[in-house]
């Protein structure tokens, strides 16, 4: 089953996949055109063939701007000595020699616990770990697009399949220490109504995560100085028979509606809670693209809601909506 979803990680990242890349319904791809350029074609035509399409290039650059570090030209001294021009994937997706590292390393996981015909939800929960596959690690913009263009898009995933994109070292499970005291912002979207949109929404969610844009609601817009200060641990796409669910998992689940008397300092937990609600609003309006007051749940119990993992496990507890 895994092979049907993802090709060899090594082949993907080296650009030598034996199968054609999976085309996205959104045409937001960096597929490599390996056709030779016939003699006499102008440089402009060559550039048009090798460059990314405007929409994905703009989306990638915008969403990943905060994650890109300046390239160390010194590390490319051999290229300079040989007289080779430094080329990014945006300039030449075939022969690029410069990579743009991400702020964090990320891991894609996949599972489909229902494909073996488990007879009950309890059995599927108990076999969850056995069905979880670590697909590939990504550390650069180029590796992300290599991954994205070689996996099955969410709109064609079978029922009960899940994608998990989490920071390196964090497993997509409540039991992981990074998630134990946290929660999740999530939205459920009717499957048939949103089938044509889910690929775009999942792509934007991933870009916002690896571009650290979900971490922006901080004092003075500063990025966290340590992993412990980062709120987001990962993002999840779940395909179900009647709906898709997209979730943003967080390290904390502090209350944000605690009143603070005038003149009193704001407790650290309250400050974190306020960051959480701003994160939820950003997720709804800037990532998913819905107005803040829009009702988008389509009849499901959840809109864009937050719930702690502990309450979710008990199937009760307080839920917050934005």
Quick one: pLDDT at residue 14? Answer: 36
H or E element that contains 79: helix 77-81
Q: How far apart are CA 107 and CA 178, in angstroms?
A: 15
Range in 95-104, 230-239, 274-283 with the lowest mean pLDDT: 95-104
> Is the confidence at residue 27, as pLDDT, over 80?
no
Q: DSSP state, 300?
A: S
Q: How far is CA 225 from CA 182, 228, 229, in A?
A: 19, 8, 7
Structural tokens at position 84: 């080779």
Neighbours of 272 (CB within 10 A): 18
> Is the confidence at residue 177, as pLDDT, over 70?
yes
Q: How far apart are CA 175 and CA 169, in angstroms?
A: 13
236 and 171 in contact (C-beta within 8 Å)?
no
Average pLDDT estimate for 87-100: 73
322 and 292 in contact (C-beta within 8 Å)?
yes
Average pLDDT estimate for 24-49: 33
Quick one: pLDDT at residue 35? Answer: 29
Mean pLDDT of the chain: 72
Alpha helices (H) along 233-292: 268-282
Q: Which long-range contacts (CB under 8 A, 24 or more apart) does 292-295 make?
A: 292/322
Instruction: Return the ∠ at Cα 232 (arms to 301 and 319), rounded to 5°.
Output: 25
The residue behind tokens 């702690």 is 308
Quick one: pLDDT at residue 47? Answer: 36
Where residue 229 falls among pLDDT bands split at 50, 70, 90?
confident
Listed in sequence order, the residues at least 6 apart from 125 whose beta carbon sits closer than 8 Å to its beta carbon are none
- The residues facing 235 across adjacent strands are 165, 248
Q: How far apart are CA 108 and CA 251, in angstroms?
A: 18
Neighbours of 164 (CB within 10 A): 24
Quick one: pLDDT at residue 97? Answer: 74
Range in 85-94, 106-115, 186-195, 267-276 with the lowest mean pLDDT: 85-94
Quick one: pLDDT at residue 206? Answer: 98
Global pTM value: 0.70
- DSSP string spanning 14-35? HT--SSPPPPPTT--------P
SS3 141: helix
Is pLDDT larger for residue 102 or for residue 10? 102
Q: How far is CA 133 from CA 109, 243, 247, in A?
A: 6, 23, 19
Q: How far apart are CA 302 and CA 320, in angstroms?
A: 10
Where residue 248 falls among pLDDT bands split at 50, 70, 90?
very high
Structural tokens at position 233: 């641990």
CATH 3.30.760.10 for domain 2-29+45-69+82-321, yes or no, is yes
Q: How far apart are CA 240 and CA 309, in angstroms?
A: 20
φ/ψ of 253, rounded to 5, equals -140, 45
Going from N- to C-terminal start, the domains of the chain cover 2-29+45-69+82-321
Range in 3-17, 108-122, 141-155, 229-243 with the lowest mean pLDDT: 3-17
């Amino acid at each position: 089953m895994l092979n049907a979803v993802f090709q060899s990680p090594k082949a993907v990242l080296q650009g030598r996949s034996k199968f054609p890349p999976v085309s996205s319904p959104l045409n937001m791809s960096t597929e490599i055109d390996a056709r030779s350029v016939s003699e006499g074609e102008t440089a402009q035509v060559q550039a048009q063939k090798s460059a990314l399409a405007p929409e994905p290039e703009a989306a990638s650059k915008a969403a990943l701007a905060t994650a890109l570090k300046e390239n160390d030209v010194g590390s490319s001294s051999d290229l300079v000595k040989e007289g080779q021009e430094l080329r990014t994937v945006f300039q030449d997706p075939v022969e690029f020699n410069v990579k743009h590292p991400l702020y964090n390393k990320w891991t894609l996981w996949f599972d489909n616990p229902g494909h073996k015909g488990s007879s009950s939800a309890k059995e599927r929960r108990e076999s969850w770990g056995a069905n979880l596959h670590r697909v590939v690690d990504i550390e650069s913009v180029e590796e992300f697009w290599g991954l994205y263009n070689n996996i099955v898009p969410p709109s064609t995933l079978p029922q009960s399949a899940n994608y998990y994109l989490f920071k390196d070292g964090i497993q997509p499970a409540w039991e992981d220490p990074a998630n134990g005291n946290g929660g999740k912002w999530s939205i459920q979207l009717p499957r048939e109504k949103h089938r044509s949109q889910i690929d775009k929404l999942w792509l934007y969610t991933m870009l916002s995560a690896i571009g650290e844009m979900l971490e922006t609601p901080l004092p003075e817009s500063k990025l966290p100085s340590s992993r412990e200060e980062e709120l987001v641990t990962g993002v999840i796409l779940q395909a179900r028979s009647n709906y898709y669910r997209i979730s943003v998992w967080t390290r904390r689940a502090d209350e944000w509606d605690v009143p603070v008397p005038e003149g009193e300092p704001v407790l650290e937990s309250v400050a974190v809670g306020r960051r959480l609600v701003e994160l939820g609003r950003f997720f709804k309006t800037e990532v998913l693209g819905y107005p803040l007051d829009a009702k988008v749940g389509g009849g499901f119990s959840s809109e864009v809601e937050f719930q702690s993992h502990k309450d979710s496990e008990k199937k009760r507890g307080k839920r917050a909506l934005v």
